[in-house]
Amino acid sequence: MGQWRRLAKEAIDRTLIVAKFFGFLHVTSTYLCSSNLVLGPSMLPTLNLTGDVVISEHVSHRLGKLGRGDLVLVRSPENPRKIMTKRIVGMEGDRVTFFLDPNFAERCRTAVVPKGHVWIQGDNIYASNDSRHFGPVPYGLIQGKVFFRVWPPDGFGYLE
């Protein structure tokens, strides 16, 4: 009977170690930093069409430390299952002028970013679904700030 008790105790101890490890991974990737694969044409030429692996931190947006020009991960207001990478172009209170169709400069509009929102756009205005289509994005949809590219190797380093 003592041998079974010892085996059960060892199994419980190992299970707790694994559970703590997964808990640590969850907290780290949710509240500190995570790696993300970014695909698609909307952030050309900053990010590659075929995909970049980037590191994003999840502290700045919680402290209100984001600004114009920052690359951010944003939960899509149109499809909550989708996470997009875009650039902040306007903060609350800013007046943003944008083209409805980049091919026709005379078709532009101006919007004021409301309190608690940001205006996001892709760097490739010809192939980006962004605030020009769905309007200002609530600050709460921001998931993190992208700051470092780890793949591909020729693009390794901090992102502007």
Residue numbers annotated as active site: 42, 86
**Dihedral (Cα; 57, 146, 73, 153), 10-degree rounding:** -120
**Cα 33 to Cα 110: distance, rounded to the nearest angstrom:** 35
**Cα 80 to Cα 98: distance, rounded to the nearest angstrom:** 24
**Cα 11 to Cα 103: distance, rounded to the nearest angstrom:** 65
Q: Among the residues of the chain, which ranges form H helices?
A: 2-27, 131-134
Q: Cite the beta strand spans of the chain per DSSP E.
A: 33-38, 52-57, 71-75, 83-90, 95-99, 108-112, 117-121, 137-138, 142-151, 157-158
**Cα 68 to Cα 42: distance, rounded to the nearest angstrom:** 18
